[in-house]
């Protein structure tokens, strides 16, 4: 009998994100996972004010449907895609996401500070939280 269960240490995270999942129904609401959040870029540089704004935005997004999010402007509650080459902390991208070429950019406050992550299925995985304007990517 062959076991299909992966042993600890095998790259389970990469397997779960390697292929995009089926599109999510527009009436669904997003969920969040912080599995890939960069501690160096995001947590160590952010103060309580940033985290309050960030968590407030996540709360609002979690109450919206994907239809509402997708219809919203990128500088409001919407999002845009950004290539890996545009990100400043490229070396901090988790190994499990090394094959991802485009990342989702959401804004978390009215000053257009961003958080960058990937969306798989119904889940948003934030990777970088911009503490200071321009520390994650150049805003042109």
Instruction: Dump pLDDT digits (tens) for 11-28.
Output: 444 434 434 445 578 899
Q: Residue 45 falls within a domain, yes or no? A: yes
Q: Residue 138 falls within a domain, yes or no? A: no
Q: What is the largest CA-CA distance in the chain?
A: 58
Q: Residue 120 falls within a domain, yes or no? A: yes
Tokens of 101: 């070429």
- Nearest C-alpha neighbor of 63 from the set 106, 28, 105: 28
Q: Which of 9-18, 35-44, 57-66 has the lowest mean pLDDT?
A: 9-18
Q: Residue 135 falls within a domain, yes or no? A: no
Q: How remote is the C-alpha of 70 from its chain's centroid? A: 15
Give residue 25's pLDDT: 83
0.85 exceeded by the pTM?
Answer: no
Q: CA-CA distance, 91 to 30, in Å (whole number)?
A: 27
Q: Residue 123 falls within a domain, yes or no? A: yes
Q: Residue 134 falls within a domain, yes or no? A: no
Instruction: List beta partners, residue 124.
Output: 32, 119
Give residue 23's pLDDT: 55
Q: Where residue 115 falls among pLDDT bands split at 50, 70, 90?
A: very high
Q: What is the residue range of 96's domain?
A: 25-129
State how many domains the chain has. Answer: 1
């Amino acid at each position: 009998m062959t076991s299909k269960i992966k042993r600890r240490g095998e790259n389970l995270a990469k397997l779960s994100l390697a292929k995009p999942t089926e599109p999510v129904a527009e009436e669904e609401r997003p969920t969040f996972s912080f599995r890939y959040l960069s501690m160096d870029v995001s947590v160590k540089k952010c103060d309580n004010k940033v985290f309050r704004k960030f968590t407030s935005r996540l709360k609002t997004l979690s109450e919206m449907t994907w239809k509402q999010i997708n219809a919203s402007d990128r500088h409001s509650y919407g999002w845009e895609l950004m290539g890996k080459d545009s990100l400043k902390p490229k070396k901090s991208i988790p190994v499990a996401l090394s094959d991802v070429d485009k990342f989702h950019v959401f804004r978390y406050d009215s000053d257009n500070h961003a958080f960058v992550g990937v969306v798989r299925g119904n889940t948003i995985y934030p990777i970088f939280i911009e503490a200071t304007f321009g520390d994650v990517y150049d805003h042109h």
